[in-house]
Structure 1
Amino acid sequence: MLYDKLLKEAAALSIDVSERNLLPTTHGLYADNTIWINKRLSTRVEKSCILAEELGHHHTSAGDITDQSDVRNRKQELLARQWAHHKMIPLERLVDAHNAQVKGRYEMAEFLGVTEEFLQAAIDRYLEKYGLYIILNEQYAIKLEPLGVVEIFQA
């Protein structure tokens, strides 16, 4: 379902998305308003995570960044990945998972429609950005390590 939603978003941005047989180590590519997703990816969930990151490149990257030995290119790669994390797992969705009584990372990844690896990368990034805790809308405290959500009650 998320994959279809992201495909519609790409179409609205006039980005062509094509599934092709890419090298096994290449999951996706973005260039000139075209995204290629590796046809060999086994699930739509994996494809969603890759499509989100490639859309992130559309929104955040400029030029050819394939040479990852250049620190500027690695920074652009990180920005695209961060964009994808915020797109696929906004903090409010962690609260939604808590309210749905989701337990464990496997169930949470399934609830959010992402891979466990993508979920962990997003949590790691949120940890770097916010530290151990995030207060969301003065209603929830999200603890990132270990992952948990607590509702804040006003006296």
Structure 2
Amino acid sequence: MQLYERLLAIAEEQSVYVYEKPMSRRNKGLYADQVIWINKNLNTKQEKACILSEELGHYFTSSGNILDQSSISNRKQEYRARAWGYEQLIPLHRFVEAWQQDIEGRHAIAEYLEVTEDFLQHTIDHYQRKFGLYATYENYLIYFEPLNIIKM
């Protein structure tokens, strides 16, 4: 099962309804009242998966109307939803799996993980803010800049 379909299954388990509908280019996805709308005009399943992960993040982490991003509280909720998506789609062990498969280069890693390169970079940035220069997973060091895995 591909990533997008796995996320749709999570939504269904939570009784969150997901609809694809044409939206303006600037809107890629929206969440409100247990309904997620994904822009039908997105180019790839990978991009749809990345957007769906963030919208599911809103379901799991946000409350109220947070459309007004001038509010610090709303911006924090927006980041929490994105962080949920980053960590759900690319937990640390997935970096190690890609390394174990000898997958190199951001494009190839993103393809292996079924995400966009932009989402991969945002995830790396998130983990770097969370952990610093590197994180450990089991007996591996995961360096974030440049992205590198070292077995200890």
Residue of structure 2 equivalent to 1:51: 52
Rg comparison, structure with higher value: 1
Equivalent AA in structure 2 for residue 133 of structure 1: Y
Q: Report the 3-state secondary structure (helix = DSSP H, G, I; strand = E; otherwise coil) of the residue aligned with 2:67.
A: coil
Shift of 1:22: 1.2
**Equivalent-residue separation in structure 2 for 1:123 and 1:61 (angstroms):** 22
Output the TM-score relative to the length of structure 1: 0.96
**Structural mapping, 1:32-111, within 5 Å:** 32-111=33-112
Shift of 1:111: 0.5
**Structural mapping, 1:26-37, within 5 Å:** 26-37=27-38
Structure 1 stretches of 5 or more lacking a match?
Answer: none
Equivalent AA in structure 2 for residue 15 of structure 1: V
**Equivalent-residue separation in structure 2 for 1:133 and 1:126 (angstroms):** 8
**Equivalent-residue separation in structure 1 for 2:42 and 2:72 (angstroms):** 28
Residue of structure 2 equivalent to 1:10: 11
Residue of structure 2 equivalent to 1:123: 124
**Equivalent-residue separation in structure 1 for 2:137 and 2:5 (angstroms):** 29
Shift of 1:136: 1.2
The Cα offsets for residues 122-143 of structure 1, whole Å up to 9 and x where unpaired, read as 0001011101111212x00111
The total of aligned residue pairs comes to 151
Residue of structure 1 equivalent to 2:22: 21
Equivalent AA in structure 2 for residue 149 of structure 1: I
**Equivalent-residue separation in structure 1 for 2:134 and 2:6 (angstroms):** 30
